[in-house]
Structure 1
């Protein structure tokens, strides 16, 4: 039997498969054990700390389903010769991209005319090789661009929609969940309409309607009547109703308001036939 254990123990080495894929069964093997040693007892270490015996199978360290939590530097040594371990080897676990996340900058509400940047992020080993951006409109998916960042300058309501990214590396690809870009803008395409044409008989029911495109939707509509002398507030709401009298004739307009801004319509004339 060889008695110079220090020389033999210094030759211990750990065999690691390559590549090591997440979820696979992996065996680390302690090699170069002196053949003259009968049934030697091995000690395994991770990052310099002894591993529990129940995790080892003597000269093999077995991972039934290896994960990134198992990553580290491993070494082996013969029991009672712990001061002569093998050289540590790194267990590096490979995995395809995790489900990416999408973030937007600036983080506040997206206003029409602003510049918006979408960022795609994913953890992977090896790191993500490529990011690809897509837009989904109903069942139609359009490829937009490649890269970790996707910039939209001078954003408009036409950019409202669902965006997602694909992250890819050597071992696979993964798509993010859809990010809904909601572009906010002040009221526009504002119009006021009247349920009559021409002159209106006294006592007739008059309905004025205000409509507008806005995002977020219009919070309130305000109605005004303009005469030769002044402009007066006459009501609120998308519609106003009244029975016509001579003092209610005049030029009416509405104002639409949301959190972004406000807009006045052109006037609609209510003509008394008396």
Structure 2
């Protein structure tokens, strides 16, 4: 048993007291070796003392007796062997991942728990770590898991009759294409016509976004502008529209279109949805400190007169089979000469199952002011997750 004190004794005949044999241990295992000679019995003895460790298990130890003979005669030797058996609890417990720990989200990987023990490991347990929570997820040597988008942490436990040992925690790093791609503007106030604003493209991706590209939208024409994360543009009265595209090795995503609009214009938000049966009710909300505050309008359109502050507006379309939501964020810029409104359209917020439709289910927001009409459709295939399609009309 590991930790036990062990003494190995090696004896050899010593028929010639004047030339006793030399006893040698291989390997020595420790510095504690005791030699003694028993003259009456003509025997020489050597004792090797050590503390048993798992590293000694299976070790082949030899004791060699070397005899020196009289001049003219060659020396002789005799050797004996012993294989050490040590019982010990699991050691060097570890986790291997196949394929590697960095894989595309949604794919499956196999985790294998390995440990050195005698007797062999009798029980394996798997645990998942989420913050301070530890959950048991399996009780076999191999565990198959689906890699999520967020980081996941696992470790295994190996046990036999002599003890238990845990592996170190391993991280499964889910790789995914850009998500939540959006545009922010700086400065966010006091912008006058002809001055410059800075547009910044942001996106969540793993590995990190490899390239950013900007595009200018003019009617139905879309032209590349620059390959950079930050774009500086001049504020002009022509309602020029921009959007950015984020890309890594696993895919790309485009932001919503970003447009400058004159402050004080009346914006008309129109909510549209394709459903069967047709949409029964429309509801409008304004988000205030993360709370959905209902608005008075219950019609398909919402008119915003003389906008004086920024805000996130949401429309909800509902029939007897479910509901779906779309949203838009209106940014307001104050300036003494030519006030402007800056707005950005966000992806719709999915609250429940999509509306039942013969074809597809989607919600739209149509935004109108005195100089232009702008429509954004966020589209998601019914019954599938993650599949989105963006379509823009009117000024696009």
How far, CA to CA, are the matches of 2:174 and 2:251 in structure 1? Answer: 14
TM-score (norm 2): 0.49
Aligned length: 234
How far, CA to CA, are the matches of 2:128 and 2:4 in structure 1? Answer: 35
Indicate the SS of the match to 2:118. Answer: coil
Match of 1:65 among 47, 51, 67: 51
In the alignment, structure 1 residue 131 sits paired with structure 2 residue 124:
yes
In the alignment, structure 1 residue 157 sits paired with structure 2 residue 149:
yes
Structure-2 change in CA distance of 1:45 and 1:125 (3 Å): farther
The equivalent residue for 1:122 is 115
The equivalent residue for 1:265 is 255
- Could you say which structure has the higher strand fraction? 2
1:177-230: CA deviation from partner (whole Å, max 9, x where unpaired): 111211111101222345699xx8531433333222212222332110111252
Cα deviation, residue 264, structure 1:
1.2
How far, CA to CA, are the matches of 1:112 and 1:147 in structure 2? Answer: 24
The equivalent residue for 2:241 is 251
How far, CA to CA, are the matches of 2:158 and 2:254 in structure 1? Answer: 47
In the alignment, structure 1 residue 183 sits paired with structure 2 residue 174:
yes
In the alignment, structure 1 residue 172 sits paired with structure 2 residue 163:
yes
How far, CA to CA, are the matches of 2:21 and 2:132 in structure 1? Answer: 60
The equivalent residue for 2:330 is none
How far, CA to CA, are the matches of 1:75 and 1:209 in structure 2? Answer: 74
Q: Which moved more, 1:229-238 or 1:161-170?
A: 229-238
How far, CA to CA, are the matches of 1:242 and 1:75 in structure 2? Answer: 83
Q: Is the 8 A contact 2:216 2:222 kept in 1?
A: yes
Unaligned runs of 5+ in 2: 11-19, 27-32, 37-43, 68-78, 263-337, 339-370, 372-396
How far, CA to CA, are the matches of 1:220 and 1:75 in structure 2? Answer: 66
* Larger RCO (CA within 8 A; separation ≥ 6): 1
In the alignment, structure 1 residue 26 sits paired with structure 2 residue 35:
no
- Could you say which structure has the higher helix fraction? 1
1:118-144: CA deviation from partner (whole Å, max 9, x where unpaired): 111111000111111122233332222
Structure-2 change in CA distance of 1:44 and 1:196 (3 Å): closer
Q: Is the 8 A contact 2:101 2:173 kept in 1?
A: no
Structure-2 change in CA distance of 1:178 and 1:128 (3 Å): same
Structure-2 change in CA distance of 1:166 and 1:213 (3 Å): same
Unaligned runs of 5+ in 1: 1-20, 31-40, 48-53
Q: Is the 8 A contact 1:223 1:233 kept in 2?
A: yes
